[in-house]
Amino acid sequence: MPIYTFKSRDGETLEELVPSNTRQIEREGKLYLRNELPEAFAVTGQVRQKSFKDNMRSGYYKAECSEGARFRSDYSKSKIKKVWGL
């Protein structure tokens, strides 16, 4: 079970060891929602956090896969090509 950071509406955060499909938890009457982006840290010194470029690529890939032909980007073709390294 991984450690996830949960945040309440008033900004309080909790770190909990929960199953990966847990999206929200309730502690002492407060509802905490899991952060969208996982926390990144190196255990062996070999693991690195994804760069902005890699996060952008994976986000576009997921959007294109989920929406198919309906996918429309707010960015120009030249900006997208620059990010993709084309």
pLDDT in tens, 3-58: 888 899 888 888 888 888 888 999 888 999 988 766 665 566 666 777 887 887 88
The 3-state DSSP class for residue 4 equals: strand
Phi/psi of residue 66, nearest 5 degrees = -75, -35
Q: Where are the domains of the chain?
A: 1-68
- Percent helix, strand, coil in the chain, to 5, is 30, 20, 45
DSSP letter at 33? E
pTM exceeds 0.85: no
Are 16 and 26 in contact by the 8 Å Cβ rule? The answer is no
